[in-house]
Amino acid sequence: MKKMILAAAVLALSASAHAQSQSDTNGPGVRVRPFVGLGLTWGGDKLDSVEFEDGHSTSIRAGGLVDVKAGVDVHFDSPFSAQISVGYHFQTINGETRNGDDGRKTFDRYPVEVLGHWDLNDQWRIGGGLRWSQNAKFSSSGALDVGNVEFESSTGVVIEGEYFMTRAIALKLRAVHEKFTLKGYSTAPEYDGSHVGFYVSYYFN
């Protein structure tokens, strides 16, 4: 899996460099733009939960909650574009016991995504691709310590639609299908990490 991700990254970077070279020699037909994005996601199986003193509880789910990413978008001299990104996707719950002891529970991973998009017009595009969530783990500490576990992820599938408010700012709705299994256990149950998300992206250049 790591070799596959490395190969995809090298291919995307090579395509980016080639596209930039073509852009330099052939004019503005091919655009290479770095971007950053921030999203909120919802969904997936419950991994754990925390009950607070006031009676309400919060769950950590395999599809939540905050996804921060950066990458490169290559738009060819056609309606087609390609994109590669690396992100940090996480959900953290902080809690405090009655005697004031602090604790934390976190589920986090580092997704690598390789996507393709097709322009519908100057503002809308749709697309999808593959996602690999690396180093997925559940960790806990302090008063909320229940242990730490690592996960292996399946190859995820992404579909999305993106709307450009301006040339630089875009809003995105997406759905992701992926699963996680406990690392080191051949008969471990699967946890569904599938989710939907809303993102805001900023494209440079």
Residue 41, pLDDT score: 98
Q: Which two tokens stand for residue 5?
A: 């991700």
| Contact between residue 156 and residue 109 where contact means Cβ atoms under 8 Å apart | no
- List own/partner pairs for 117-122 with CB under 8 A and 24 or more apart: 117/80, 117/81, 117/82, 117/83, 117/162, 118/79, 118/80, 118/81, 119/79, 119/80, 119/81, 122/164
Q: How far apart are CA 131 and CA 192, in angstroms?
A: 14
In order along its 205 residues, the chain shows pLDDT tens digits of 455 455 555 544 554 455 455 444 444 578 999 999 999 999 999 999 888 776 778 999 999 999 999 999 999 999 999 999 999 999 999 877 555 668 899 999 999 999 999 999 999 999 999 999 999 999 999 988 999 999 999 999 999 999 999 999 999 999 999 999 999 887 888 999 999 999 999 999 8
- One-letter amino acid for residue 24 of the chain: D
pLDDT at site 57 = 84
Letter for the amino acid at 43? Answer: G
The reported pTM is 0.85
- Residue 34: per-residue pLDDT: 98
Distance CA 26, CA 23 (A): 5
Q: Are 85 and 74 contacting, i.e. CB atoms less than 8 angstroms apart?
A: no
Residues with Cβ within 8 Å of 189's Cβ and at least 6 positions away in sequence, in order, are: 181, 182
**Cα dist. 196→82, 129, 143, 187, 192 in Å?**
21, 15, 31, 28, 13
DSSP state of 189: P
Walk me through the domains of the chain, giving residue ranges and CATH numbers: 2-203 (2.40.160.20)
For 10, the 3-state DSSP assignment is: helix
Q: In this predicted structure, what is the pLDDT of residue 50?
A: 85
Separation between Cα atoms, residue 61 and residue 80, nearest integer Å: 34
